[in-house]
Structure formats: C-alpha cells, structure tokens
Structure 1
Amino acid sequence: MRLLTRATLFAAALFGLGAPALAAPADCQPGGACAHPLPVKVVIVTMFEIGKDSGDMPGEFQIWKERRHLDTRIPFPQSYHDLYYNPETQTLGMVTGMGSIRSATATLALGLDQRFDLSRAYWLVAGIAGVDPAKASIGSAAWAHYLVDGDLAHEIDAREIPKDWTSGYFALHSKGPNDTSPPVGQGEVFEINAGLRDWAFALTKDIALPDEAGLKAARARFTGYPAGQRPPFVLKGDNLAAMTFWHGKLLTGWAEDWVTYWTHGQGEFVTSAMEETGTYQSITYLDTIGRVDKRRFMVLRAGSNYTMPPPGVDAATYLLRENEGYAGMHAALENLYTVGSKVVDELTAHWDRYGKTVPE
C-alpha cells in the first residue's frame, strides 16, 4: 500500500484536487426556501478527501461514501465540497475542509440550508488524529466528551520565557502560565453530550479492531508507554483542536496540561486535531434557533500518528519522517468506519426509538 504523504494530504484538502464534475441539482436550490426538505437521520462529518471521492486512495470521506452508498450528489456551492446522500437510510455525508475555520463555516452553511431537515439528525464527526502514546496507540478510536481549543491564547517566543514560567503559551485574560485558575472561557472548551458519548462507547467498546504489521513495528518503539504499545482499541478520550500541526514530547505535555486546565481536571487529552471546536461552535449556534439538536453530536477520532516521538528519537527527525506517511493512516480510516458504522446502523435501524429520544 502506498503511504499517504502529508504534502499530498494538505494539497488535496486545501486546494480541492480531484473534484468531480457537478451532477444534476437537487429539487430545491441552494440558498432558497424549500417546501419539502430532505429528512436527515445522520450526518457523517469528515474533514478531507485526497483525490476523487471514490475509487482511489481514500481520505476520511471515501470509505463512508462507498460503503454507506452515499450516491445522491447534492450541490453545496456555499461551502467547500458537495454533499452526498442516501435516501434509503437518510444519511448525509459532508467534507468540511481542514481547519476550524472551514469546519465551522461548512457546518453553519449546512445547518442553515433549508433543503435539509436536520432537526433530529445525529452528527458524527469521524476523522484521523494524532494520539498521545500515554493514553492510546495508533489505530485506536476515541469517543470525546470535552473539545478543547488550542488556538485562543497569549504567546511569547520560547527564547523570551521568564525562568519561572512553565511555558510561553497561556490562557487569554490569565496572569501567565503559572496561573492555575482558568478565566471565563470564550470558546476554549466545549462539553458535548456525555450520555450519548457513553452510549456510543458502550455499543462499540468490545469491537475487535484488526492489527497490522506496520502498526506493530511503529508502536513497539514506544517503550515505557503501555497504552501506546497496545493493539488498536476503542476508548473514551478528549480532543484538542489547534490549527498548528504541533509535535513533540514537550508539546504533548502542554496538550495534557491544557486540556486538564480548561476542563478543571475533568477531561483527559487523548487526540489532537484541528476542527472540533469550530464544528461544535456552529452546532451550538444552530441549536439556539432549532435548526439542529446539539445533544445529538458525537466526535470519534482515530490515531493515524503519535503526537510525540518514541524514546531516543528527537521530535524534528520523527516529525519529518512522519511527513512521508502516517504509520496508522490506513488503520485509522478503517477503524473510524468500523466503529462509527456500528453507531450509525443502530440509530438508523431503530429510528422509531432514537428519532424521538436521544440515547444515554
């Protein structure tokens, strides 16, 4: 299998390489009123695709499109990527684009689109992530409760950090990195429905995820990190979203502290990504006008790479090596689908129950 390079991923995600030609328009026009909107039971939220939407090397969206038969294409010109729909299961798939700006605007654009009835829809964010080897291994899939933003902050250059400071990066409106009392938040942390998260975890925690030779070799190097050496598994763990692709033992320590800080010790950093806080911010806005139900929002991230190098390897060397291809990319994409599909199948097969009542 050819490894995905980060350069390929970013070029495809940022510039829309391989976008297919537009299909026939939906019954109602984008941006207009719609007397008979399409009912949606589940929205699959992915962040990038690499080339074509089917038939080549998959990104986050392709496996869902092909295996969930999301074959009805719906033009979505007010956002990054067209939508795909399965009228039988009433499942809608979207690609937001990478980064919190694109994920927020794409989610808001969809939520305000009158062509869709999203009032009872469940939202499943399914994406790859960096994973903290102290908590999990590549290929593992984590259900989140807390979504923490890593961008809203003060920062000074590391070369100018006072000797008694633990970091040059600290919370807005705080007195510095040694101030242990978080100020009033301005979007730094979101708490999504813990009951729904726990229900999804209970439904999927015993799924046996396949192992691969490449995964075994990559994780064997993480001596001293028992969780990082385990075969892929399903767990509960929180997400840190930041637009900078950071890496290293020191920054992993910062991420652990940052999540602990903003969740008052209730959260635990497991996965790093870019989009969640932007996506959920839009969900909260849409919830206030009844377009969506924020209680029906879930985040599942699977580890494609570790957030730090193994012992004995410097951060720069390991990061540049990972640029040549994430060791856990293939497993992460497959396991996102395996774990997430279990939840989607349960919701759509028993819609008479879950359409009315959110499971907990």
Structure 2
Amino acid sequence: MFPTIKGIALPLASTVAGLALTTTTALADDGITPVPVKVFVGSMFEIGDNSGDRAGEFQHWYESYWQDAEPVEVHGASHDLYCNDAGVCGSVLGMGKVASSSSMQAILLDPRYDFSDTWFILSGVAGTPPSQGTIGMVSWGSWLVDYDLGHRWAPQEGEPGEPVFQPRKGYEDIRVYQLNPQLVERAMALSKDTPLEDSDSAQQYRQRYPDEMARRAPFVRTGTHMTGDTFFHGPGLSAEAQYMTELYGADDYVITEMEAAAITQVIDRLHGTDRIMSLRGAVNFDQGNPDETTQQHLDPAPGNTAGGFAETVANIELVGSHVVDDIVEHWDQWQDGVPTQE
C-alpha cells in the first residue's frame, strides 16, 4: 500500500525529505503555518519524570522553560517535544549516536515546526580528563571529534608505545566538526561568570587527584568534545583521544560524551553547523587516580564514587540558560547570525 497525504498516493521510493515537503504543502493548504523555533535544547536522558524527582539531563531545562507546555508526539522521535510561547523547544533525544541522531532527524523533519533560523544546544553530562577539567565543570565545545570512523588494533600488535588508531579514508567530512568560533566566543562571554553549584562529596573526591585542574572548583571553559558510543576509560585511551584531536587539528580534548558529533551530522545535512552549540557538564574523570586501577575506577567500591551529579546537571542549565535567554530577549540581533559582542 502506498502512503497517502490528503488522499494523494505517494511512491514508496519517495524520500523522507520529499514526504516532509509534501506534508508542509498540505499544512499550508490548510492554512497552518509551521511554528518558528528560535532555540532547540536536546538532552540525552532523563532519570524519571520531567519534574519533581531526581533530575537527569532534561529536568532543569523542563522546569525553566516547559512547565506549562503540552507534550507533542513526534513520529520517529524517542520522546515528546515541548515548546513554549517564546519559541524555545526541547526534547530528550536518547543516549548514544543512533538514538539521539535519529530522534533529532525526526524532529527536524516534522512539518509542524520551522527550524530554518534555530539555534541548537546539545546538552548533557560527560567525562573529563583530570588534566583538563573537574567534577561539576561545564564546557562549550569548540570542536566535535568522532571517536570512531577509523582503524584500531591491539597494542601488542603494533609498535610499543605508538598509537593504536588511524583514521579511515572516506569520513573526512563527518569525523570532525569545528563549531562556529564566533558562537562559542559569544556563549562563553554570556556564561563564563555563572556561579556554579558544588558539593562536599565532589570537593573531597577531587583531592584524590594530583592535577591542579582536577582539584579546582567548577568553572566554565571551552575545548574539544569527543563523541563515542564506547565508554573509553583509563590514561591510555585518554591519551589516544588527545592524539586524535591533534591529528585532526582540533583543540585539546576536554570532554568525552556519546552523541554530539552524530547529532551535528544530522543537523548539518539540513541546516549547516553555524548555529550548533555543544554543552556538557563533567560528572566523572575519564581515568582513575594514581592509587587505583582503571577497573577499580569503573567499578568503585561503596563510598568511592565521585559525587556531584545533581550539582552538575543543575550547572549545565544555569550556564546554558544565559544563552537561551539572550537569544530570545534579543531575537532581532540573533535571527540573522551571532551578534557582535559589545
């Protein structure tokens, strides 16, 4: 059976984009104008409800922007979409490359919404090397690097001490993205002085690490965000991540996460990358301290976890909301591009 729109049969070979275009035409014929979206915030998971219980990545955003919004089901997305009257929309996209990017594509192709001028914030928790960050830190991504899309081999099968990764040809356009430098600079200017939350448990945990950066109180910074479905861990793989950023000409690796490069690839196909922001808060270090093995750090004994999760998810929204609110309040300056800093 062929799919139909308003009784018109469509060939099975029609592309999704063509289907969305036809649906948009149908909506226009009915006098329905797509809702213009000024800001879209995508989180990757929520622990329970959107409000009133232990907060995951989405709850603080929801409580700030969508308490009164009706949930909208988007076909093909993993969770409902929420939009407020100011043109700020958001959704939980799902964890990992496939779940998050497929949800993002479903939302972007929904003809009820116009994303042609949208600013995107890809938001969530992450890890950080102790030489570059600390628990509770929040980072705006300057570059996104895909941890995969290459060749790897066992260390014993290569030269001792040499990297065990090399890029695979054919992925040059999707393995690394430089995000709009003017946008990153503007986001930092708006949010760098945000007072961030901290906890006693996180403060105590930091002291296990000798790195000056790891012992710092939470702060806001920029740097490369490394995207990989594999939860790579330990000083060796952390060094490999840094090697990859240098190989690709990116900034220092400061964040390990699972989704941003994949979501960016989807947005890029339809709207480019100039309006994409990657915003991550560090809830763990990507390696153990000098007194524990990598396995011990991955499976800590009771009382040896990092702490600071609740404070970090709060910090992400505290930092990101400065940018969201500025975009909405000064839309006449933001609609056509990043405003010139005063």
TM-score for both structures, normalised by structure 2:
0.86
Equivalent residue for 2:325?
Answer: 345
Matched, 1:309 2:288: yes
Question: Residues 322 and 153 from structure 1, CA distance in 2 versus in 1: closer, same or farther, beyond 3 angstroms?
Answer: farther
- C-alpha contact 2:186 2:338 (8 A) present in aligned 1: no
Could you say what secondary structure the match of 1:301 adopts? strand
- Cα offset for 1:325? 5.7
1:35-74 Cα shifts (integer Å, max 9, x gaps): 3111211001111111222222111111111121352211
**Which residue, out of 188, 200, 210, partners 2:187?**
200
- Cα offset for 1:196? 0.3
Opposite residue 83 of structure 2, the aligned amino acid is Y
- Distance, in Å, in 1 between the alignment partners of 2:94 and 2:23 is 24
**Which residue, out of 59, 70, 76, partners 1:78?**
76
1:155-210 Cα shifts (integer Å, max 9, x gaps): 2234x42234613332224xxxxxxxxx9715211111111001100111122212
**Which residue, out of 209, 223, 233, partners 2:219?**
233
- Distance, in Å, in 1 between the alignment partners of 2:49 and 2:81 is 14
- C-alpha contact 1:99 1:274 (8 A) present in aligned 2: yes
- Distance, in Å, in 2 between the alignment partners of 1:163 and 1:259 is 21
Question: Residues 352 and 333 from structure 1, CA distance in 2 versus in 1: closer, same or farther, beyond 3 angstroms?
Answer: same
Equivalent residue for 2:299?
Answer: 320
- Cα offset for 1:261? 1.0
- Cα offset for 1:231? 0.1
- C-alpha contact 2:75 2:106 (8 A) present in aligned 1: no
Could you say what secondary structure the match of 2:82 adopts? strand
Matched, 1:273 2:269: no
266-275 or 103-112, larger mean C-alpha shift: 103-112
- Distance, in Å, in 2 between the alignment partners of 1:249 and 1:120 is 41
Opposite residue 207 of structure 1, the aligned amino acid is T
**Which residue, out of 248, 253, 256, partners 2:234?**
248
- C-alpha contact 1:252 1:308 (8 A) present in aligned 2: yes
Equivalent residue for 2:54?
Answer: 57
Give 1:120-199 correspondences, 5 Å limit: 120-158=117-155, 160-164=156-160, 166-173=162-169, 185-199=172-186
- C-alpha contact 1:108 1:286 (8 A) present in aligned 2: no
Question: Residues 325 and 38 from structure 1, CA distance in 2 versus in 1: closer, same or farther, beyond 3 angstroms?
Answer: farther
Equivalent residue for 1:103?
Answer: 100
Equivalent residue for 1:13?
Answer: none
- Cα offset for 1:77? 2.6
317-326 or 57-66, larger mean C-alpha shift: 317-326
Could you say what secondary structure the match of 2:60 adopts? helix
Question: Residues 169 and 111 from structure 1, CA distance in 2 versus in 1: closer, same or farther, beyond 3 angstroms?
Answer: same
Could you say what secondary structure the match of 1:197 adopts? helix
Gaps of 5+ in 1: 1-28, 174-182, 288-292
Runs of 4+ more than 6 Å apart: none
- C-alpha contact 1:129 1:305 (8 A) present in aligned 2: yes
- C-alpha contact 1:104 1:282 (8 A) present in aligned 2: yes
- C-alpha contact 2:149 2:171 (8 A) present in aligned 1: no
Percent sequence identity is 32
- Distance, in Å, in 2 between the alignment partners of 1:326 and 1:313 is 14
- Distance, in Å, in 2 between the alignment partners of 1:336 and 1:283 is 22
Equivalent residue for 1:3?
Answer: none
Matched, 1:213 2:214: no
Could you say what secondary structure the match of 2:282 adopts? strand
- C-alpha contact 2:197 2:314 (8 A) present in aligned 1: no
Could you say what secondary structure the match of 1:318 adopts? helix
Matched, 1:91 2:71: no
Number of corresponding residues: 313
Opposite residue 281 of structure 1, the aligned amino acid is Q
- C-alpha contact 1:43 1:123 (8 A) present in aligned 2: yes
- Distance, in Å, in 1 between the alignment partners of 2:284 and 2:115 is 33
Opposite residue 55 of structure 2, the aligned amino acid is P
- Cα offset for 1:320? 0.7
Matched, 1:286 2:270: yes
- Cα offset for 1:341? 0.5
- Cα offset for 1:262? 1.4
Opposite residue 329 of structure 2, the aligned amino acid is A
- Distance, in Å, in 1 between the alignment partners of 2:165 and 2:66 is 45
- Distance, in Å, in 2 between the alignment partners of 1:271 and 1:101 is 20
- Cα offset for 1:130? 0.3
Opposite residue 52 of structure 1, the aligned amino acid is D
1:282-332 Cα shifts (integer Å, max 9, x gaps): 111012xxxxx5311111111011111111111100111289965231121
- Cα offset for 1:93? 0.7
- Cα offset for 1:233? 0.2
- Distance, in Å, in 1 between the alignment partners of 2:196 and 2:50 is 25
Opposite residue 305 of structure 1, the aligned amino acid is N
Opposite residue 272 of structure 1, the aligned amino acid is T
